[in-house]
Structure 1
Amino acid sequence: MSQDLPKPSILVIIPPPVWALAFVLAAWLAGRAAGLAAPLQFPLFGWAVFVVGFLISASGRRAFAKAGTEVIPASKKNSALVIAGPFHYTRNPMYLGILVATLGLALVIGTVAAFAAPIVFFLFVNFISIPYEEDKMERQFGDEYRAYKARVRRWI
């Protein structure tokens, strides 16, 4: 099985947490520029949701560290197929955590525009980042990865 992957685009090279932050910042700035009210603002609850998302993402990062594999999505290869810990329940706990965290920030900001950030982040990773990584993992780990994909859902 060939290990050759197409050269990753800049969309994949820039780490997803950076994209999430950019989407939240853009949504916040758009809301301010438009003078939008914040009828959906729930700061305390929003920060709690943010922390939950951060912890979900951190648990995935810890599982990668424990397995001694690369966390950079555009890496040429991964040293291990991680299926333990949160990866037993979702193939993308780090992305799921970031998504939950961006939802928490949307609740902190409270404008309708702020809720575009988690939606755009979801679309971005679901249709750009994850397919690149899944292709890489399938090429590298073959049937073992395909069996994992059949057992564990992409999100939840």
Structure 2
Amino acid sequence: MGWGRAYFALQACAGALWWITVFTIPAVRHATLGGLDPWLVAAADVPLFVVGSAIAATGSRAAALITTSWTGLVTLGLAVYATATTLAGWGAVLMIAATAASVLASLLVWRERIPTEWLLVGPFRSREADADASPARNVLATAMQIVVFWGVCLGIIPLVIAAAEERWRLELGVPPEVPILGVVLFVAASALGLWSAAAMSTLGGGTPLPIETARRLVVRGPYRFVRNPMAMAGIAQGVAVGMMLSSWLVVVYALAGSWVWNHAIRPHEERDLEQRFGDDFRTYRAAVRCWWPAWHPASASIAPRVPSR
């Protein structure tokens, strides 16, 4: 059985178990459905979610599509209901997770693989920076990218998530030291991110984003210690923002984003680097680890022998 079909089988069992607890445990019913009539919701959800998932587990593409569409619709409805009433917050969170997993499982059922190349659009579309661009222009472009991405990914989105967490009554009490530690972590991670961006824009002849990717392989600065210092910085910043906001959902958002980047974006990025820089990148990859920084910087012998084309 493929992974997509296996997930739908698991979802069918989990859905059936959830409905049993809804009708037998009032606390579960209140936390996930609030004041909604469970019989009315079950009349549609049992056939479309539970039975539909079971049929999708047999490999039915139509059932996978119908079940995933219904899951998304329920998620939207529960999110609106939880925001309006402050009830059923846990139900909204669980359905958000179910929708994301159902989409991935449906892709596996339909295509037998997850087409991660669909993510390579917009700022993630790979294109070398203009060869005539000056270092000052690359630094300015990098600064603009940082302002936009930090503002959206570390500002707007976490604030929206934290507001929903509060509105949906999902806050978890945290010690008063956590936000302070979050500030310390954010400052340290931001310093790493800025150091990495400076190295990429001044030494690489480009910017950190693939849409204006560096023309030269950067193996100096923080890249001597770890291959993905900007990604590490971004993950740590996201976790730090969650700590500062005392929001566990923001921490989950940061970790989920790191999972997507590692499994969906990074493989394409490293294939592109290997294609463009060949043995230079393979030597660098063998000498410097992807995520775990070395205590001592890599030897200067890993520096590219020739400049990028």
Aligned partner of 1:83 in structure 2 is: 219
Ranked by relative contact order (alpha carbons within 8 Å, sequence separation 6 or more), the top structure is 1
- SS across alignment from 1:103: helix
Q: Give the partner amino acid of 1:73.
A: L
1:78-115 per-position Cα deviation (integer Å, ceiling 9, x unaligned): 31100111001111111111111111111111132122
Structure with the bigger percentage of helix? 2
- SS across alignment from 1:75: helix
Give the counterpart of 1:130 among 266, 271, 278. Answer: 266
1:108 aligns with 2:244: yes
Root mean square deviation, CA, Å? 2.6
1:141 aligns with 2:277: yes
Larger CA deviation: 94-103 vs 34-43: 34-43
Whole-Å separation in 2 of the counterparts to 1:115 and 1:12: 23
- SS across alignment from 2:261: helix
1:20 aligns with 2:170: no
Whole-Å separation in 2 of the counterparts to 1:23 and 1:105: 11
1:39 aligns with 2:173: yes
Whole-Å separation in 2 of the counterparts to 1:43 and 1:142: 44
Identity %: 21
Answer whether contact 1:49 1:100 (CA < 8 A) is retained.
yes
Q: Give the partner amino acid of 2:211.
A: S
Answer whether contact 1:38 1:109 (CA < 8 A) is retained.
no
Whole-Å separation in 1 of the counterparts to 2:213 and 2:251: 34
**Which stretches of structure 1, 4 residues or longer, exceed 4 Å deviation after superposition?**
none
Shift of 1:76: 6.4
Structure 1 unmatched runs, 5+: 1-5
After TM superposition, the structure 1 = structure 2 runs for residues 53-64 of structure 1, keeping only pairs within 5 Å, are: 53-64=189-200
Higher gyration radius (CA): 2
TM-score scaled by structure 1?
Answer: 0.81
How many pairs does the alignment contain? 150
Shift of 1:26: 4.8
Whole-Å separation in 1 of the counterparts to 2:256 and 2:160: 11
1:30 aligns with 2:142: no
1:116-155 per-position Cα deviation (integer Å, ceiling 9, x unaligned): 1221121121122222211111110011101111111111
